[in-house]
Amino acid sequence: MQSIWHPSPNFGPRRAGLQPSFIVLHYTGMRCSEDALDRLCDPSAEVSAHYMIGTCGTLWQLVAEDQRAWHAGAGAWQGLEDINSRSVGIELVNTGAHPFPETQISALERLLRGVMERWSIPAHRIIAHSDMAPERKEDPGPRFDWARLARQGLAFWPEGFGADVSLSDSLNAIGYPPADATKRLQAFRYRFRQMGTGAESEADRRRAECIARAFRQLC
């Protein structure tokens, strides 16, 4: 897939000999590509990503895949920390309040196939920024179509509901880090139950148990 090389100074070596085993999806929180590129390449901002995809599907590469971009920050997933050293980060230009255009998602799908093949990353290791940092982040948010990616083998989306058991236990099994219960529930909904609102419900618990059961079968 063709990309525009737009190097960011905000990167370093992956620590402890780690290689990419996750892909983390983000939105920029900005209206235009130019502003997002400026920030991701600003040394004083101390943030970056490996790739950024504009609303028209234009793909920029900012950091080489074998290097550690600064996109994930503090957080953890499935008991693992330093997600920056373990992942490739992809930013989607979006404010968080708008749908993701078809051209952008199609470009993302092509990019994901390549990154997954190069690093042997399975679909269940493509995660949201909000998954690994539920107290700090919301991206890529409730408008992002995870089910569409899953239909192509590019994300993890088990269908259905399970038993009505402890939500906390299920979220632990899925891989969510310790966090405020309300924030963890919201992060779970952003990813796996996007129509969910209000207080924790039986539907949340049953959906989470289904996801947790599927994760256990993979591990």
Q: What is the pTM of this model?
A: 0.98
Tokens of 42: 């600003």
Q: Which domains does the chain have, with CATH numbers?
A: 4-151 (3.40.80.10), 167-218 (no CATH)
DSSP 10: -
pLDDT digits (tens, 9 = 90+) for 143-195: 999 999 999 999 999 999 999 999 999 999 999 999 999 999 999 999 999 99
pLDDT at 197 over 80: yes
- Per-residue confidence band for 86, with pLDDT thresholds at 50, 70 and 90: very high
Taking the CA of residue 136 as centre, how many other CA atoms within 13 Å lie in the half-sphere pointing to its CB?
13
34 is catalytic: no
**Backbone φ, ψ for residue 75 (5° rounding):** 150, -175
34, 46, 81, 91: the catalytic one is 91
91 sits in which H/E element: strand 87-92
pLDDT digits (tens, 9 = 90+) for 27-80: 999 989 999 999 999 999 999 999 999 999 999 999 999 999 999 999 999 999
